[in-house]
Amino acid sequence: MEDEKKIPSVMLTGDRPTGKLHIGHYVGSLRERVALQNEGAFDEMYIMIADTQALTDNAGNIQKVRDNVIEVALDYLAAGIDPTKVTLFVQSRVPELFELTCYFMDLVTYSRLVRNPTVKSELAVREFGESIPVGFLTYPISQAADILAFGATVIPAGEDQAPMIEQAAEIAHKFNVTYKEVFPEPKILLPKNAVCRRLPGTDGKLKMSKSVGNCIYLSDDAKTVEKKVMSMFTDPTHLRPEDPGHTEGNPVFQYLEAFGCDEHFQKYDTGFASLTEMEEKYRAGGLGDVAVKKFLAFVLNDTLEPMRIKRRDYESRIADVYAILEEGSRKAEEKARSIALRARRAMGIDYFENKKFIEKQQKAFKRAHEQADAYAAYLAKQGK
């Protein structure tokens, strides 16, 4: 019956609670999630705070993970995620995810795990040496469970997550051919604009990273944003305003592009009508970094200000935010429970839910008893 229902379109994504979210998270995925939510593009939308995954390399640092659950939740809500439209939940509160992880572990080889490019590059920076936690190595399997437990097909995430989603699709396929068709194969949804896929740090380095200290956080106040922008790395060959400059690979211009600043050109008097015009002038010479940076700080603060106001409101009622997460986790568990049951059915380990199987086994025992009884009667008739 349940199988005959129309398959719902489901979006799922999430973040590890290891720090506040920054503008790279925003243009890379969060902004898109809010847009999809407002378009009503999906039947169901789930956003997960992946605390269990964060623990895979923070077992000795529980406090960091615990304290950042609320920070990430506040960032989501401030950015415009509406908990009446999106199920916001905490990974550790949905036990079915770990049940599915165990079943999936039997479908993945060790060599496939260590070949996962994301795991490989993360191992390289973490310096575990010989002491790699098993949970860390296997987190792609757990992430597959996160996705498949909801029947999700669309995963808005950063480019670094692509190998994870690919492996989740592989696991779905392996399960479906080994047992029965249960899981759709998920696909990543990347930002259309390449610059949004990997926003560089304020120092021009390839990625924003908390440990490097090159991030602008969604929750930074206006002064902090301005300070960070004014000290940003730009074109090192552009020494004086008169010099011709490079816009390509210049993080100040990359941020302007990523934030889509056309409307801001009308709000702020730069003397240019569009980013293209501004870039042309910079390349030709005669436009100083300070002027461009001032505009960028304006654009960022104009975008972040409504989030700061929303965040402050939620910060004044933290219990409500936890109630949102609790209710979301309850709803998420309900959904995951129904899909986990379908998985157990497909595998044939639905012992208590499968009345037909119980009846069949009962019949087999009954037949065996009848045969044994008949044989005993035959022996008795023969006189022992």
Positions in the binding site for ligand TRP (CB under 6 A):
12-16, 48, 50, 53, 143, 146-147, 155, 157, 161, 164
Residue with smaller CB distance to ligand TRP, 219 or 234: 219
Min dist CB 297 to ligand TRP, Å, is 27
Residue nearest to ligand TRP (CB): 50
Residue with smaller CB distance to ligand TRP, 189 or 296: 189
Residue with smaller CB distance to ligand TRP, 88 or 147: 147
Q: Where are the beta strands (DSSP E) in the chain?
A: 10-15, 44-49, 87-90, 154-156, 187-189
Min dist CB 142 to ligand TRP, Å, is 8
Residue with smaller CB distance to ligand TRP, 48 or 325: 48
Min dist CB 69 to ligand TRP, Å, is 13
In this structure, how many other beta carbons lie within 10 angstroms of the beta carbon of residue 262? 11
Give helix then strand counts, H and E, for the chain: 18, 5
Query: With contact defined as beta carbons under 8 Å apart, do 225 and 304 qualify?
Result: yes
Alpha carbon distances (Å) from 200 to 23, 119, 359: 10, 21, 62
Q: How far apart are the first and last CA of the chain?
A: 55
Residue with smaller CB distance to ligand TRP, 270 or 329: 329
Min dist CB 77 to ligand TRP, Å, is 18
181, two tokens: 């068709």
Cα distance between residue 314 and residue 213, in whole Å:
26
In b/e form, how buried is each residue of 334-364, taking b as 16+ CB within 10 angstroms?
A: ebbeebbebbbbbeeeeeeeeeeeeeeeeee
Min dist CB 53 to ligand TRP, Å, is 5
Min dist CB 52 to ligand TRP, Å, is 9
